[in-house]
Amino acid sequence: LTSLADGSAPLTHEGIDEMAGPQGREFLRELLMHIGLLPHRDKYLAAFATWRHRRLASISEPAIRNEISAYLAWRHMRNLTVRSEAGQLTAAATAAARDQTDAAVRFLGFLSERGLVLVQVRQEDIDDWFATASNPFMAADFISWAIRRRRCRRLKLPSRRYTSSPGCPSARLAEIVARLVTDEEIALGDRVAGLIVVLFAQQV
């Protein structure tokens, strides 16, 4: 407050951004916006924009940085801005955009290790990525965007399959419950824990 009063910090969002202490700083910003001394600014969009600059600065390879810069500008910033203007932007949406961007960086790094840039990616590279990478589908948004924007050739992405366990037959569950209730040779703590697991594991 003193720095705002004596003019050492300008009464702007940029001036508030320079203040230390994120919790107090953001509380002050919300208060100043509420009473009309600062124009409204979407905190999720602003935080993402700040993260965007830091993330790009952390990428040392120019070719990767250029691709990610375009992806952030034309895919995520555009989409998040539209959602913000509609009042529908959430922390979850910006977190998903960050995760997809990080996955895109990993995918481009995977290509770089093979001596390739995005425009040179082949179907075999896509197949290898989805067969070997950790959580490869997180990069699917970037790859699909690159195909639509003709930043690489048309490629086929595998469909994401969701599988579920068939579960334990009800008769077997009943046997397990009966044993946990009656078998005193099992330690009491194990019986209680087992009953909790079995009961919560049942389908609704």
DSSP of 16-32, one letter per residue?
A: HHTSS-HHHHHHHHHHH
* DSSP conformation letters of 80-108: HHHHHHTT---HHHHHHHHHHHHHHHHHH
| Residue 139 DSSP code | G
User: 47: which residues sit within 8 A by CB, 6+ positions away?
Assistant: 94
Q: What is the mean pLDDT of each run of 10 residues along the chain (204 residues)?
A: 86 82 79 85 86 94 97 95 92 95 97 96 96 94 96 91 65 88 92 87 56
- Cα Rg, the chain, nearest whole Å: 26
Query: Which pLDDT value is given to residue 28?
Result: 86
Q: Identify the CA nearest to 51 among candidates 39, 31, 68.
A: 68
Q: How far apart are the first and last CA of the chain?
A: 55
User: 171: which residues sit within 8 A by CB, 6+ positions away?
Assistant: none
Query: Which pLDDT value is given to residue 165?
Result: 59
Query: Which pLDDT value is given to residue 42?
Result: 83
| Residue 121 DSSP code | -
What global pTM score does this model have? 0.67
Quick one: 5 exposed, middle or buried, by C-beta within 10 A (0-12, 13-18, 19+)?
exposed
Whole-number Å distance between alpha carbons of 204 and 167: 12
Query: Which pLDDT value is given to residue 162?
Result: 58
